[in-house]
Amino acid sequence: MSYSTPQIRNVALAGHPGTGKTTLFEALLHAGGALQAAGTVERGNTVSDFDPIEKERGHSIDAAIASLDRPGLHLNLIDTPGYPDFRGPALAALAAADTVAVVVDAGSGIAHGTRRMLDYAHQRGLCRMLVVNKIDQAGHDHGALLAALREAFGPEVLPLNLPADGGARVVDCFTLRDGSSDLGAVGDWHQKILDQVVEINETVMEHYLDLGEGGLSGQELHDAFEQCLREGHLIPVCFVSARTGVGVREWLDLAQRLLPHPGEVNPPPFRKGLGPNAEPVLARPDPDAHVIADVFKIVNDPFVGKLGIFRVYQGTVRKDMQLFVDDGRKPFKVAHLYRLQGKEHVEIAQAVPGDIAAVAKVEDLHFDAVLHDSHDEDHIHLQPPALPRPMFSLAVTAASKGQEQKLGLALHRLAEEDPAFVVEHSAETNETVIRGLSDLHLRVMLRRLHERYGVEVVTHPPRIAYRETIAQPAEGHHRHKKQTGGAGQFGEVFLRIAPLPRGAGFEFVDEVKGGTIPGQFIPAVEKGVRQVLASGAIAGYPIQDVRVVVYDGKHHPVDSKEIAFVTAGKRAFLDAISKAQPQVLEPIVELEVSAPEAHMGDISGGLAAKRARITGTDSLPGGEIVVRAQVPLAELEGYAAELKSVTAGRGRYSLDFSHYEPAPAPVQRRLMDAFKPRLEED
């Protein structure tokens, strides 16, 4: 079925876990003719939850895409995970939407996920709407819920339809003036939403005041409605029951008639260049212009290979055309162009502006890559979504020898698919560390590692990146003399060390006079010193914030060699450190905790037990507080689970490195004692 940009609607279903997003996704596809029968989460046969782990757990883990077509409408639907553990794929997929429909459970009401997704959509400049689901269930007070939504999110929250007959049907209150509903007279709500819509546009407002509602054309109402959504002046509410189908077809009608198409929404935040000099770029939904498309999701499919899913913002992507990835000089050919229907891939001939499509087997594709067909669009990128920072960490090693390369490739593939799953190699601790949003997030990734790629791993908490330093100046000396029958080794070094300000790093100074150490051997002395800097002197951690001054020494015209001065420099440095009050430094991080105000006492008490210094608190709208503190990183192991427990899953935190400072004496002794056996082994 062919369609143009004005007929496209891109809608993402988002919200708190358990609100029925996946069931609504199925109901909309069924009502739109894309499915003969709607699947259910319980039977594990839904279009969007096709991953075996999703079927087993009974909830979404990844964002899924499907579309439906009916006369005058091509609707791209995106089903996003509700659990905060999987917010990475959810937020990344929202970048491809024009409207975010936040689903609310009619019984549970406003949840933390409701606020979070509405806030995110607002920050991104997306149109927002609320879909109240499960209206057919007895005992729900829909009037109280609507009042709570308006109180929480403002008077711009207004219904487009109303439940009637106890949730057995819905009544349109945007176009109809007459009738009754479970929430009172239809005319009252009709007047409220009409007043809200017409006041945003001066021309429409003048026509309305002069001629009354009957003097407004359908196009004027649509344009004013679309402007309200774009500017955040209206958050419409629709009532549905995804299980029974009540309100589902009516929602499709409203989407076709009132929701904005890709040419009517706020322009996407494309930039050309990097940093403060980057300039905004306007991508126009012109099918004849140069192609600009953004890859918002990567899937490594076992049958079709690497799949890059993208949203077209400008131009038309056609089968067999050539596209560039980012600023690449080598184009790739679009050998196959697909539309996604859950796990199914339907081949298509073209994708017009506003559409969502996919290409396969292009290794250069990555999350947030920009596709284009002309070098005029080099250096263009889409402002990336504000993704949550992964706070949970595990160090992983292959359980079997010879699996290291396979493990590395598999982790890379998983990280491609989830922008909130990060894989790092720490050269300092020689560990491969995976980072995610929660313990559950990492468990799911490790399971995929095993089931998809056949890799078993051993996990353990990552080592804390401690440092060593000194507290006072000292001098060191070492004479290295070795005779083995032939030419020997000789080198003698005198040096002074002194502490530098925290964060200053390392300085090496040559103050040797009279050639007591020939100039060609000074680099060897520095090499020996740097060996100690890297390996540590008292606990096995890198040394920082030290100045080393080499001021004297001796050499032998025959036996002095580079290796002799490396050893002498190393031993002289160790000698000086032993006299300079060496100490272990621990990393301190800036921690920011957000949670409901009622949990302030539990959060503060928990941080006090972790040697934290609270530096400030702020109150936020909606009864939330933000607590800022400086905390030793070593004390935060398991903090995410602790915060989740004391806040019933509503707390979240972020952290950034702040500085290093001396660890408490018991911690220093423990680390030094653990290092002694290693020294003896050496």
User: What digits encode the pLDDT tens for the residues 90-138?
Assistant: 899 888 999 999 999 998 888 878 888 999 999 999 999 999 999 998 8
Nearest CA-CA partner of 487 in 554, 560, 555, 553: 560
pLDDT of residue 649: 79
- Please tell me which residue, 654 or 492, carries the higher pLDDT value: 492
Q: What is the pLDDT of residue 677?
A: 60
pLDDT at 430 over 80: no
Of the listed ranges 37-51, 144-158, 222-236, 601-615, the least confidently predicted one is 37-51
Quick check: 321 pLDDT over 80? yes
Going by C-alpha positions, the residue among 414, 405, 454, 411 that lies closest to residue 433 is 411
Are the beta carbons of 161 and 171 closer than 8 angstroms? Answer: yes
Does residue 6 register a pLDDT over 80?
A: yes
Asked whether the beta carbons of 160 and 189 are under 8 A apart, the reply is no
Region of 639 please: left (phi>0), alpha (psi -120 to 50) or beta: alpha
Give kind and range of the element (H or E) at residue 207.
helix 202-211
Edge-to-edge strands, sheet with 506-510: 474-482, 489-499, 546-554, 506-510
| 175 vs 112, more confident | 175
pLDDT digits (tens, 9 = 90+) for 24-73: 999 999 999 988 888 888 888 888 888 888 888 888 888 999 999 999 99
Mean local confidence (pLDDT), 402-421: 91
List all residues 6 or more positions away from 268 whose beta carbon is below 8 Å from its beta carbon: 283, 294, 313, 382
Task: Give the separation between CA 287 and CA 6, rounded to whole angstroms.
Answer: 11
Which one has a higher pLDDT value, 619 or 555?
A: 555
Residue type at position 131: V
Q: Which residues contact 139 (CB under 8 A, 6 or more apart)?
A: 107
Evaluate if residue 200 carries a pLDDT over 60. yes
Find the range with the poorest average confidence among 31-40, 154-163, 580-589: 31-40
Q: Which two tokens stand for residue 297?
A: 């999701």
Q: Is the pLDDT of residue 571 over 70?
A: yes
pLDDT of 681 over the 70 cut: no
**What is the Cα–Cα distance from 338 to 386, expressed in whole angstroms?**
28
CA atoms within a 13 Å half-sphere pointing along the CA-CB vector of 529:
29
pLDDT at 485: 67
Type of residue numbered 385? P
Percent of the chain whose pLDDT exceeds 90: 54
Mean pLDDT of 539-546: 91
224 has pLDDT over 90: no
Instruction: Compute CA distances 602 → 134, 598, 629, 646, whole Å.
Output: 35, 9, 14, 7
Q: Looking at residue 622, what is its pLDDT? A: 65
Confidence band, pLDDT 50/70/90 cuts, at residue 427: low
> What pLDDT, on a 0 to 100 scale, did the predictor assign at position 107?
87
Q: Which two tokens stand for residue 199?
A: 């006041």
* 214 pLDDT above the threshold of 80: no
Using only C-alpha atoms, the chain has a radius of gyration, in whole angstroms, of 32
Token couple for 300: 């490594």
The phi-psi region of residue 67 (left if phi > 0; otherwise alpha if psi is between -120 and 50; otherwise beta) is beta
- pLDDT of 682 reads 40
Q: Token pair for residue 242?
A: 């995804």
State the Cα–Cα distance between residues 277 and 282, nearest whole angstrom. Answer: 16
Torsion from C-alpha of 402, 405, 408, 414, nearest 10 degrees: -100
Q: What is the rounded average pLDDT of the residues 502-528? A: 92
Q: CA-to-CA distance for 663 and 541, rounded, in angstroms?
A: 13
Q: What is the mean pLDDT of the chain?
A: 89
Q: Give the pLDDT confidence of 391-400 residue by residue, as tens digits.
A: 678 899 998 8
Predicted confidence band of residue 415 (pLDDT cuts 50, 70, 90):
very high
Instruction: Tell me the whole-structure pTM to 2 decimals.
Output: 0.78
243 vs 485, residue with greater confidence: 243
Instruction: Give the sheet arrangement for strand 127-133, strand by strand.
Output: 64-70, 73-79, 8-15, 99-105, 127-133, 235-239, 157-159
Mean pLDDT within 150-177: 92
